[in-house]
A and B are shown apart, each in its own frame.
Chain A
Amino acid sequence: MSGQGQLAASAAVKPEAGGYTQAPAGAREIGNVLIRDLNHRFGSSVHAAADVNLSFAPGEFVSIVGPSGCGKTTVLNLLAGLMPVQEGTISIFGSPPKAGRHDVAYMLARDCLFPWLTAAQNAEFGARIRHADRHKSQERARHLLEAVGLKGFEENYPKALSHGMRQRVALARTFCLDSPLLLMDEPFGALDAQTKMQLEDVLLSLWMKERRTVVFITHDLAEAITLSDRVVVMSARPGRIIADIRIELPRPRSVTDLQKDPEYHKIYAKVWEKLEVGLQS
């Protein structure tokens, strides 16, 4: 993974003409996801993202935290190609973002399951839409449902599943896709504390097996530190990046064990300080 080493450098690089299209830089950035000088405004008064520069290395788990309304979801939606980029450049594996590209998987805050499909059908929905082999995606969906702890619930409709279980199905659906980049928009935001910790464990175990690039949006600092290799802190509107902190906790991590880990709490205090500064500025 050559991407990991040049991370700091690429984050600081300013785009010259064309940004990601430059041949020498482009060749090395093929596996990377880059955001350069991104600005986004809603109307004339709301400045949602200001001068955002970020780089995500292959296999890296990065969380973006910030107060609500800071523009973190805007950044994610721009990465997903759900809105056009107004100012600046975004490069995903060497090409601009576009909704529906197969190397990107997007997970919403709400479980977004289809009520007329069973858990198994929901889990394989994305793969089927992307014309994956029917037999293979069925197999994979079953396997993933087992991995997220829903063995025996494959034929249940969402109405018969709890909130947490539905979000587990949504996780299975996201991981059922082959995409090397996963974009997650506060997927556990609506869950209670216990369920949230269980699902963080499930997410970590799924991610550890394949090490895809994850961009994870959350307003929960503890969650960000628990899951990530890096935590990016954004300020209140206009959303600027005020800190980009590497989390040096060893992997594999256990969510429950971390609660008692003094190192974890030290990191938490450090990141919280940054976030506090961001809230005041």
Chain B
Amino acid sequence: MTDAAENRNFALYETLVINAARLVFLAVFFAAWEYIARNRIVNPLFIGIPTEIAKFLWIGLFVEFSLIKDLYWTLGSTFLAFVIGSVAGIITGLMFITWPWFERFSDPLFSALNALPRIALAPLFLLWFGLGIWSKVALGASLTYFIVLSSAVAGIRSTNADHLTLSRTLGASKGQIFARVTLPSAVPTIFSGLRLGLIYALLGVIGGEIIAAQHGLGQLLSFLAGSFQISGVFAVLFILAILGTALIALMNSLEKWLLRWQ
């Protein structure tokens, strides 16, 4: 057997052991939780009961599909907030680069808006856009927008001066320089902004739903907590954790593919 194959086998073995250890840890953790809650060592009103959480998830996901419906609302709003916020952010970034006077002119305004805790805008957005998804989209997009804007500006500014000199001597047009030099060199920085922007879009949407909504996981969370269904609250939190992780994993694999040259 070659060294490489041996190393691979060893790595595989290590992965197996680590995953097994994780499963054991989780099993012990949930068993202890179940034991503590069932025997009222801690009141289950505060920490829920794992079997109840599982039952809630099972019914919500596979029997009544109520969780799926709320998930669908939340994901849809998050997607819209992310797309609107990042497209607007990138366009504003391009405008800043194209017209530096515009950036200088609007800098105090943007700084103030960016420093404002965006969740404080929620009541206003509710008034403007109603109880439906658009108030949540607005809140999420307002968070994504500034993150993507600053990363777009930083990314475009980070273009290597040598690359620009070379393009000039080659006689590249403005459009060619943008498409073939500026944009590709900005992608890594913009992408880290997009990844963060997606997480913040989710944050904004959930925040908005908790405050006031008709649908969505945030609204469900707020309803369950208000009616002391703590196992349900934990079930929603599990779904949110998995959702966040899945979104990050999606962005990571997209980034890995886009930036395979790095």
Among the stretches B73-81, B92-100, B165-173, the one at the interface with A is: B165-173
A115: which of B166, B176, B261 is its contact (CB, 8 Å)?
A: B261
Rounded to whole angstroms, the CA-CA distance of A82 and B163 in the bound complex is 14
Cβ A100 vs Cβ B262 within 8 A: no
Minimal Cβ-Cβ distance residue in B for A127: B170
Cβ A101 vs Cβ B181 within 8 A: no
Rounded to whole angstroms, the CA-CA distance of A101 and B260 in the bound complex is 34
Q: How far is the CB of B98 from chain A (nearest CB, A)?
A: 21
Rounded to whole angstroms, the CA-CA distance of A129 and B260 in the bound complex is 23
Q: Is B162 an interface residue (CB 8 A)?
A: yes
Rounded to whole angstroms, the CA-CA distance of A68 and B160 in the bound complex is 24
Within 8 A of B (CB), among A109-166: 110, 112, 114-117, 125-126, 129-130, 157-159
- Chain A residues with CB under 8 Å of B162's CB are 108, 110, 112
Cβ A82 vs Cβ B168 within 8 A: yes
Cβ B169 vs Cβ A106 within 8 A: yes
Q: Mark A163-184, 1 if CB is under 8 A from B, else 0.
A: 0000000000000010000000
Given A112-B162, A129-B180: A99 in contact with B171 (beta carbons within 8 A) = yes
Cβ B163 vs Cβ A102 within 8 A: no
Cβ A129 vs Cβ B261 within 8 A: no
Cβ A100 vs Cβ B172 within 8 A: yes
Cβ A114 vs Cβ B168 within 8 A: no
Cβ A100 vs Cβ B169 within 8 A: yes
Rounded to whole angstroms, the CA-CA distance of A125 and B185 in the bound complex is 15
Given A112-B162, A129-B176: A82 in contact with B169 (beta carbons within 8 A) = yes
Indicate the member of A82, A126, A129 with the most B CB atoms within 10 Å: A129
Q: Mark B139-178, 1 if CB is under 8 A from A, else 0.
A: 0000000000000000000001011011111111000100
Rounded to whole angstroms, the CA-CA distance of A180 and B261 in the bound complex is 33
Rounded to whole angstroms, the CA-CA distance of A129 and B170 in the bound complex is 7
Rounded to whole angstroms, the CA-CA distance of A47 and B185 in the bound complex is 36
- Chain B residues with CB under 8 Å of A81's CB are 169
Rounded to whole angstroms, the CA-CA distance of A177 and B171 in the bound complex is 12
Q: How far is the CB of B159 from chain A (nearest CB, A)?
A: 11
A82: which of B165, B181, B184 is its contact (CB, 8 Å)?
A: B165
- Chain B residues with CB under 8 Å of A112's CB are 160, 162-163, 165-166
Indicate the member of A101, A126, A177 with the most B CB atoms within 10 Å: A126
Chain A, interface SS category: loop
- Chain B residues with CB under 8 Å of A70's CB are none
- Chain B residues with CB under 8 Å of A117's CB are 261
Rounded to whole angstroms, the CA-CA distance of A106 and B260 in the bound complex is 29
Q: How far is the CB of A74 from chain B (nearest CB, A)?
A: 14
- Chain B residues with CB under 8 Å of A102's CB are 171
Cβ B163 vs Cβ A80 within 8 A: no
Minimal Cβ-Cβ distance residue in B for A100: B171
Minimal Cβ-Cβ distance residue in A for B162: A112
| A residues contacting the other copy or chain, number (CB 8 A) | 25
Q: Is A35 an interface residue (CB 8 A)?
A: no
Cβ A114 vs Cβ B181 within 8 A: yes
Cβ B170 vs Cβ A126 within 8 A: yes
Q: How far is the CB of A234 from chain B (nearest CB, A)?
A: 22
Q: Mark B183-219, 1 if CB is under 8 A from A, else 0.
A: 0110100000000000000000000000000000000
- Chain B residues with CB under 8 Å of A99's CB are 168-169, 171
Cβ B261 vs Cβ A80 within 8 A: no
- Chain A residues with CB under 8 Å of B172's CB are 100, 129
Cβ B171 vs Cβ A101 within 8 A: yes
Cβ B262 vs Cβ A129 within 8 A: no
Cβ A157 vs Cβ B171 within 8 A: no
- Chain B residues with CB under 8 Å of A158's CB are 261
Q: Is A241 an interface residue (CB 8 A)?
A: no
- Chain B residues with CB under 8 Å of A157's CB are 260-261
- Chain B residues with CB under 8 Å of A177's CB are 170
Q: Is A104 an interface residue (CB 8 A)?
A: yes
Given A82-B165, A108-B162, A108-B166: A115 in contact with B171 (beta carbons within 8 A) = no
Q: How far is the CB of B231 from chain A (nearest CB, A)?
A: 49
Cβ B166 vs Cβ A130 within 8 A: no
Within 8 A of B (CB), among A75-90: 80-82
Rounded to whole angstroms, the CA-CA distance of A80 and B168 in the bound complex is 10
Known: A104-B169, A125-B180. 9 other contacts (CB 8 A): A80-B169, A99-B169, A100-B172, A106-B169, A112-B162, A112-B166, A116-B185, A129-B167, A129-B176
A-binding residues in B (CB < 8 A):
160, 162-163, 165-172, 176, 180-181, 184-185, 187, 259-262
Please name the 9 residue pairs, one residue from A and one from B, whose CB atoms are nearest each other, closest first: A100-B171, A106-B169, A116-B261, A157-B261, A129-B170, A112-B162, A99-B168, A116-B184, A129-B172
20 contacts between A and B (CB under 8 A): A81-B169, A82-B165, A99-B169, A100-B169, A102-B171, A104-B169, A112-B160, A112-B163, A112-B165, A115-B261, A115-B262, A116-B184, A116-B185, A116-B259, A117-B261, A125-B180, A129-B167, A129-B171, A129-B180, A130-B170
